[in-house]
Structure 1
């Protein structure tokens, strides 16, 4: 089932400013917070030293960037999420798509690498691995998308054949070629799968209930997917 949505609905589902889920996602791990805190501290220190070296009139100009650097650790995730939202919102057309879970499996991905030295003095590289869930969703017409996300305990409730819904975007008004897809929602289990929470979840869940009540079973229409570089990494 593929139902076109209006541009207004699209912008409401993917707001320009970060949602609470997006903010929490971009907050990241403790190492990412420490990195932002260091940038904030170093930037604040440099601007404070510059402020002391300029005349009084120039100090007023430096006040705004000084405050911005001082609070970078706090507003950094908002900026990161807003950039990702803007990249997703650039497509002029979007639609509500319903299919089913075709397959799912667990894999491991390297999150980062660290250099160390063993007892013999040899340089070794330690890879930090993260377990990830890979979910393939599609319909009877052959439209298939694979979504990858960090594994969590909710993914134990995944099963083949479950109804899956998501938002798809396109440059074409008939949605015959899909460029990007959102995170996937499994209504029967109330779980989400995706590397980033693109959607305003409360609103999308309401649209899901409305669409499934109005249209019921999936229809034969299906888009032709044109993968983006981000989606090609899933395949």
Structure 2
């Protein structure tokens, strides 16, 4: 099995970092292998990603209406008409594939960051502000509906915020509980990193995501593998 590198508490804590982390307050980030990244951040669109880009009934109706109109206009051009009539089907696939490709190509290294919940806010947006607006790119189902703001971070000072429409299960979330999420970086040291806006809270069993980047089943398996490896390493280090 390939040896993992836990960044922050062990190696690469200061050498080559832009700002550097003190050993005591470094973020808990475990570098993932290439195979693990391929499993978790697949280039192939997932069903959840396709549903995200398919949109609501209004969006679907508008796309099919536009496709029908374009098909009628371009009926003398077989290839254009064929592409137009299937436009609502292949557009979500194209959008999801492109988004996945950008994430995979832009950053060289991917890690699992173990942090904690710093703040949880359930807020009712004012009617005037929320009408015809979006939450992180997703149109609200109802004007003025509540949303959840989750702030995640650790002792290093690193922070990331996720905002999603409110669901009853979000009531289970608590400040101080562990949080796990994927982070991307140019440097293997993760001196600077970008967190994907998809957070898993193991204690409450809640996922929050502004966009479904992750193959969640595989993510949970890898997280469990990392924890088992840490426990095994700790057992070896314990003096007899």
In which range does the TM-score fall when normalised by the shorter chain?
0.7 to 0.9
Pairing of 1:1-235 with structure 2 (within 5 A): 1-48=28-75, 50-51=76-77, 62-63=78-79, 65-89=80-104, 90-107=106-123, 108=125, 110=130, 112=132, 128-215=143-230
Q: Which has a greater percent of strand?
A: 1
Alignment check: 8 A CA contact 2:197 2:210 kept: no
Q: What is the number of residues matched between the two proteins? A: 191
Could you tell me which runs of 5 or more consecutive residues in structure 2 were left unpaired when the two chains were aligned: 1-27, 134-141, 232-240
Offset of residue 111 of structure 1: 5.7
In structure 1, how many angstroms separate the alpha carbons of the residues matched to 2:187 and 2:72?
49
In structure 2, how many angstroms separate the alpha carbons of the residues matched to 1:130 and 1:7?
41
In structure 1, how many angstroms separate the alpha carbons of the residues matched to 2:145 and 2:70?
32
Alignment check: 8 A CA contact 1:12 1:200 kept: yes
In structure 2, how many angstroms separate the alpha carbons of the residues matched to 1:188 and 1:74?
38
In structure 1, how many angstroms separate the alpha carbons of the residues matched to 2:185 and 2:210?
20
Give the structure 1 partner of residue 137 of structure 2. none
Alignment check: 8 A CA contact 1:168 1:182 kept: no
Deviation track 1:140-195 (CA, whole Å, cap 9, x = no partner) reads 22222111112222212111121110100011121110134240011222221111
SS of aligned partner of 2:51: helix
TM-score (norm 2): 0.72
Give the structure 1 partner of residue 10 of structure 2. none
In structure 1, how many angstroms separate the alpha carbons of the residues matched to 2:110 and 2:228?
20
Alignment check: 8 A CA contact 1:182 1:199 kept: no
Alignment check: 8 A CA contact 1:162 1:186 kept: yes
Greater RCO (Cα-Cα under 8 Å, separation 6 or more): 1
In structure 2, how many angstroms separate the alpha carbons of the residues matched to 1:24 and 1:197?
10
In structure 2, how many angstroms separate the alpha carbons of the residues matched to 1:84 and 1:202?
20
Residues 174 and 29 from structure 1, CA distance in 2 versus in 1: closer, same or farther, beyond 3 angstroms? same
Could you tell me which runs of 5 or more consecutive residues in structure 1 were left unpaired when the two chains were aligned: 52-61, 114-126, 217-235
